[in-house]
């Protein structure tokens, strides 16, 4: 009974925390600070600790999912322009055994949802709509997160940016999320080993676990916005969102991406034998393939070739099979 009462609730950590645990929360309206690229790990450990200051909705079962507060929160997140997203996995100490996804966290500046993935047979449609929708989804180490979500739920991630890759582009000397928060926001988040390696599949998550999870998603978004402001002010190009994880792999430009595509069973849109010659226009090729991918977003393309005929590129699809990674509902 106690677990049921706690399965869906709201936590506002800013009001109940001590100064030792949390500092003044950062809002989107908080003035930006000058990045400090010279911080050492020791200096970072002395920065003020922050955590997500808004409401966290924990979804553990169908009853939680259908509740009015959760539905309202899902609508709010779906209509946001920029979201922070993160996952937590059950730790496996057995050699060769992959960690199992346990929690999916999605956050804007005011609201976060922590969805207990392992408690559901599949990813519910509202979460699929958010992950494939038009809002920019900010991850840290996006490729790893996208791969896990696709591998486990067949869900494509659309409009994705990666703070790890962005930090590399900006020549940040330290690239962990906690480092980027320190450099660009002059604060730190908890990366307690005892929480990070805790049991994320426990029948009841502790408030500390829930705060930790929501803070990761929230801070990923905050760091991206701060890095984007920094880049805009200095005329540095901001990386465009990855339009589709599946498309990114299917049009893989490196052997590594093509290997991941093969591992996940994602057919390549352009096989090595049909690659366009060096003197052809790569920009036209990418545009045509992107348009073709969007047109066939309800299908996995088993074999597609791209050929040049009379000065124009022609995409030919021979076989497709239905998947569930995008919905127009």
92-127: pLDDT as tens digits:
666 656 678 999 999 999 999 999 999 999 999 999
Query: Total structural domains in the chain?
Result: 2
Query: What does the block give as tokens for 41?
Result: 């790990």
Same domain, 202 and 263: no
Whether 162 contacts 168, CB under 8 Å: no
Same domain, residue pair 188 and 258: no
Which letter does DSSP use for residue 155 in this model?
Answer: P
Of the candidates 259, 256, 325, 261, the one whose C-alpha atom is nearest the C-alpha of residue 294 is 325
Contact present, 185 and 26 (Cβ < 8 Å)? yes
Residues 54-64 have a mean pLDDT of: 97
Question: Is pLDDT at 210 greater than 90 in this prediction?
Answer: yes
In terms of average pLDDT, the best of 230-234, 261-265, 278-282 is 230-234
End-of-domain residue from the set 199, 233, 267? 233
Mention every residue, 6+ apart, whose C-beta is less than 8 A from residue 198.
Answer: 206, 209
- Decide if 161 contacts 83 (C-beta within 8 A): no
Answer yes or no: do 262 and 228 share one domain.
Answer: no
> Helix (H, G, I), strand (E, B), or coil: what is residue 90?
strand
Boundaries of domain holding 276: 245-322
Provide φ and ψ at 184, rounded to 5°: -100, -15
CA distances from 314 to 237, 268, 269, 273 (A): 31, 16, 12, 16
Local structure of 53: helix, strand or coil: coil
Would you say residue 257 has pLDDT above 50? yes
In this prediction, residue 251 carries a pLDDT of: 86
pLDDT of residue 208: 96
Cross-strand partners of 58: 114
**Mean per-residue pLDDT for 55-66?**
97
């Amino acid at each position: 009974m106690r677990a049921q009462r706690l399965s869906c609730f709201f936590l506002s950590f800013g009001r109940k925390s001590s100064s030792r645990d949390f500092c003044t929360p950062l809002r989107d309206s908080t003035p930006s600070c000058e990045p400090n690229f010279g911080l050492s790990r020791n200096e970072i450990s002395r920065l003020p600790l922050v955590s997500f200051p808004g409401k966290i909705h924990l979804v553990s079962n169908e009853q939680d999912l259908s509740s009015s507060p959760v539905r309202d929160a899902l609508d709010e997140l779906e209509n946001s322009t920029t979201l922070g997203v993160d996952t937590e996995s059950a730790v496996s100490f057995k050699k060769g055994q992959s960690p199992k996804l346990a929690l999916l966290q999605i956050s804007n500046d005011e609201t976060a949802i922590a969805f207990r993935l392992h408690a559901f047979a599949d990813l519910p449609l509202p979460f699929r709509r958010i992950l494939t929708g038009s809002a920019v989804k900010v991850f840290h180490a996006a490729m790893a997160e996208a791969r896990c979500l696709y591998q486990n739920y067949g869900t494509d991630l659309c409009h994705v940016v990666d703070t790890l890759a962005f930090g590399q582009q900006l020549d940040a000397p330290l690239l962990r999320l906690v480092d980027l928060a320190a450099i660009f926001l002059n604060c730190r988040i908890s990366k307690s080993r005892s929480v990070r390696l805790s049991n994320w599949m426990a029948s009841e998550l502790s408030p500390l676990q829930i705060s930790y999870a929501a803070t990761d998603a929230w801070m990923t978004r905050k760091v991206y916005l701060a890095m984007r402001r920094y880049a805009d002010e200095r005329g540095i190009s901001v990386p465009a969102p990855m339009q589709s994880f599946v498309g990114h792999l299917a049009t893989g430009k490196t052997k590594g991406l093509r290997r991941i595509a093969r591992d996940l069973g994602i057919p390549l849109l352009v096989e090595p034998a049909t690659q366009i010659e060096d003197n052809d226009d790569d920009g036209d090729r990418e545009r045509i393939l992107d348009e073709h991918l969007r047109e066939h977003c309800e299908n996995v393309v088993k074999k597609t070739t791209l050929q040049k005929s009379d000065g124009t590129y022609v995409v030919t699809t021979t076989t497709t099979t239905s998947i569930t990674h995008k919905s127009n509902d």
